[in-house]
Structure 1
Amino acid sequence: MGRLLFLISSLQILWFEPRAVQLPSTRFHEPVAVSETARSQAPFPAARRSRLLARVDRGVIVIPAASTADFEAQWLRGIEFRQDDYFFYLAGLDSPDAWLVMAKNPPFESVMLFLPPRDPAEERWTGPKLGPGPEASVLSGIAEVHPTTALDSILGVLLRRTGGPVYTTLPPPAAARRFPAVLRETASGLRDITPVLDSLRLIKDADEIERLRKAIAITAEAQKAAMRAVRPGMWEYQLEAIVEFTFRYMGATRVGFPSIVGSGSNTTILHYDKNLRQMQDGDLVLVDIGAEYGQYTADVTRTFPVNGTFSPRQRALYLLVLGAQQAALDAVRPGVTMAELDRIARRYLREHSGDLCAPANCAEFFIHGLGHWLGMNVHDVGDYRTPLAPGMVLTVEPGVYLPDEGLGIRIEDDVLVTDTGYELLSAGAPRTPEEIEALMKENPRYLCCPEER
């Protein structure tokens, strides 16, 4: 409750120019408006569906959407509806309780979307929803859209026409609970389609990359807002509030994962997210954050001095970690593996540590992997043995953590693999000590501590 009260009070002292917001004037049960942007995005899920069907000889693919969130039961826990990633990847829709069905028995192929019928009485409480109709076809690029009430009968026809098998993303226990009656008897013999989908999701198309760019740009702005605002005496949760306000103000859907704002000894805890410590003069603060935009999340970490200036030791360790990161970044290109990049970063630490971590070598205090895939999930799907290829997006995040000193440093950037190397998608967040210190001298847009005015 303390964090909530602080956030409410802090919003009254933020210096931002107001912006005009145009609200839709939609009457209940009118057709849902379809923007030109939404129309232009429909071909991307269609191409993904075609690639998936090309990987299946014959059968029926059944992909369920996420279930409707129970507002009455879950609102106190902050749980909101978020679409199933596989359904969003293939349908591009945020509609709950929907089903995507694809069938193949060459030369026969069919793609169908099933949506719950609209309920005008319910929409008085929850707002307009997308139902079966032409708007759904435009948004999804799927010509055949049916109400979910027809799912059972149509699936029976498709199963007879293809002869099976049934592919799905649901494990058998969940399939037995959620599948329509006609499929329940097949739940024990289902085929898992997720490995195929995961391999497809590794290579991002233009729409996915654009969503990631926006999520990462928002996250970079939040890192800069935190750098400008931080000062000794602030609490970690106050800095978290500034980060997450910036996310939402700039259009992020939600956080991609719980924000990590750790200062002092908390910089050495890899997934610290309590954010309860008061920051002191001389501390470093590690801010590992990611905004989600359009179902895709960023993941950017910066470590910076609470008082605005690195101490000589902090700077030396920071430059060591930065050098290890740059050595790995310089090696990013098609054909390289994540394991090779990891070895390059560790070798740099071993060869350049000097006596910074004596009597040990600083490489011994790099206690996690160098990075991970990035996409709809912060640790996205995909086989890490897969060589890099154009269109893949990954993080590169070396770190050194010295618990006896209460000193940890991690630098994490989001990287797009290109035909000839890489693009640093998170370049908008300062990386070097000089860039960070210069930004921290700027006037903050946030008055974090009204008692100081």
Structure 2
Amino acid sequence: MNSLIEDVSPIAVDVYRSRRERVLAQLRAQGGGLAVLSTAPEVMRNRDTDYPFRHDSYFYYLTGFSEPEATLVLNASARDGEPASILFCREKNVERETWEGFRYGPEAAAEAFGFDAAFAIGALDDHMPRLLADQPALFYALGTSAELDAKVRGWIDAVRAQSRSGVRAPTRAQHLLPIIDEMRMVKDAHEIAIMRRAASISAEAHRGAMHACRPGMREYELEAELLYTFRRHGAQAPAYGSIVATGANACVLHYPAGNATMRDGDLVLIDAACELDGYASDITRTFPASGRFTPAQRELYDIVLAAQSAAIDATRAGVSFDALHQAALEVLSQGLLDTGILDKAKFGGVENVIAERAYARFYMHRTGHWLGMDVHDAGEYREADGPRDEQGARPWRTLVAGNVLTIEPGLYVRAAEDVPERYWNTGIRIEDDALVTPGGCELLTREVPVAADEIEALMRESISH
């Protein structure tokens, strides 16, 4: 057997097969039907050059199959002896493999990834009318792709054309992705192991960037250090566009690494992490380009770190997703008052700062988001039902063991007449990845220092060498 086929471990195959079985069980509980899920399309970058291909996360979650031009069909109404999980993928093609690399082909893919059957992707349109005939429902990613919607209409029309023969088309179309979202929100042991490794690689990259940083360097030079470490340790790509921001640039939340020069006295904010085997990590650290915080920088940094500590303490199974955000808000709001960035005489106390959202000028994002196959991972943040608040919003979701989320408070203080000048153009964010446990949370990304003293010590060590 080809060595590339043998790279798919039996344990991983069992994981993906088990996930497909869980989806099939949910479809059967809803009366049966057929589910269709395709991987992401290849996208042209310019002329005859494509962007690097990245699979669709939902498709990969159920298959482990990373080749382009592939579709999964799950038949929850399959009778005994009929295939319930079917892969459509590219055929073997020796000539194309010479140019583009190895392809499994249907036969090898079915064996390696545990599908009941597999066919060439070119035969999908021929098979779908037969598979859809007399199905009670069709489950797919409703409204996510005009091309897919058009294909579905074509398949349904082909089934309806057989109505005089007594064949019926599905009478119900349902969105498939929420079913998978609920599964993806609770990570299994296979996922957690990959995410721990991704977090470790990303932490090493951040340590390397701190070691390398010197006044006079440009932002893109530190980005290069990060990307080098990601790939050197086997990560396939960055999980998102790396943010490397010096000075005032750190007040731009999604600032892409540019060519600004790091100056003595600047803070450097790095929000960057790798993707490993389909799973993202997500780390932010803020540190002084020269290796030492100024008193004003240290003051704000310690406020953000205290806010993160409060949010971490609030994170555990059984509490609201909003609890960590509210814990961080209280600390940040008090810090804004204590530093004089917000006027105590005007706002009085923390309660008024929060009620009037006065903090939002300096802290305009939430304290965390789901993390997994996507850096902003699948899953709702609010319950499907329950009593609504005064604004009509549903209750926040309750955390459960196995959720993975980020904890990332920050402060972004631009130059302004009503703000003490010593804080001008200071952007600070501290972000770690947390696995929710019954009694708290496990931080996956603390192999990179977070305390100001530890950051300064690491940078002094690099300078001395």
The TM-score normalised by the length of structure 1 is 0.85
Distance 2:56 2:446 in 1: 30
> How far has the Cα of 1:315 moved from its partner?
1.0
Match 2:282 to one of 299, 310, 313: 299
Match 1:272 to one of 230, 236, 255: 255
Can you list the C-alpha shifts for 1:169-203, whole angstroms capped at 9, x where unaligned?
Answer: 25262214455953466899732111121121111
Match 1:110 to one of 68, 80, 84: 84
Can you list the C-alpha shifts for 1:85-135, whole angstroms capped at 9, x where unaligned?
Answer: 1110001110111111111138767111122211111111111111111x3
Distance 1:164 1:170 in 2: 17
What aligned pairs does 1:139-288 form with structure 2 within 5 A after superposition? 139-160=112-133, 163-171=135-143, 173-179=146-152, 181-183=154-156, 190-288=173-271
Instruction: Check whether the contact 1:151–1:180 (CA below 8 A) recurs between aligned residues.
Output: no
Q: Which residue of 2 aligns with 1:388?
A: 399
Q: Which residue of 2 aligns with 1:88?
A: 60
Q: Which residue of 2 aligns with 1:42?
A: 13
Aligned to 1:105, the other structure's residue is in SS state: coil
Q: Give the direction of change, closer, same or farther, for the CA distance of 1:96–1:274 in structure 2 (3 Å limit).
A: same
Are residues 1:401 and 2:412 paired? yes
Matched residue type, 1:400: L
Matched residue type, 2:408: E
Instruction: Check whether the contact 2:132–2:170 (CA below 8 A) recurs between aligned residues.
Output: no
> What is the CA RMSD across the aligned residues, in angstroms?
2.5
- Structure 2: gaps of 5 or more residues: 159-168, 344-352, 383-396, 416-423
Can you list the C-alpha shifts for 1:318-340, whole angstroms capped at 9, x where unaligned?
Answer: 11100010001011111212212
Aligned to 2:84, the other structure's residue is in SS state: strand
> How far has the Cα of 1:138 moved from its partner?
3.9
Matched residue type, 1:418: T
Matched residue type, 1:41: A
> How far has the Cα of 1:444 moved from its partner?
7.0
Matched residue type, 2:14: P
Q: Which residue of 1 aligns with 2:449?
A: 430
> How far has the Cα of 1:370 moved from its partner?
0.6
Q: Which residue of 2 aligns with 1:373?
A: 370
Please identify runs of 4+ aligned residues in structure 1 that moved more than 4 A: 69-72, 106-109, 177-181, 183-189
Q: Give the direction of change, closer, same or farther, for the CA distance of 1:351–1:445 in structure 2 (3 Å limit).
A: closer
Percent identity of equivalent pairs: 38
Q: Give the direction of change, closer, same or farther, for the CA distance of 1:241–1:100 in structure 2 (3 Å limit).
A: same
Matched residue type, 2:25: A
Match 1:119 to one of 77, 93, 97: 93
Distance 1:179 1:380 in 2: 27
Q: Which residue of 1 aligns with 2:37?
A: 63
Instruction: Check whether the contact 1:263–1:284 (CA below 8 A) recurs between aligned residues.
Output: yes
The TM-score normalised by the length of structure 2 is 0.83
Aligned to 2:254, the other structure's residue is in SS state: coil
Aligned to 1:112, the other structure's residue is in SS state: strand
Distance 1:188 1:377 in 2: 33
Matched residue type, 2:61: Y
Higher relative contact order (CA 8 A, sep 6+): 1
Q: Which residue of 2 aligns with 1:316?
A: 299
Distance 2:194 2:464 in 1: 26
Distance 1:45 1:346 in 2: 40
> How far has the Cα of 1:274 moved from its partner?
4.3
Instruction: Check whether the contact 1:324–1:348 (CA below 8 A) recurs between aligned residues.
Output: yes
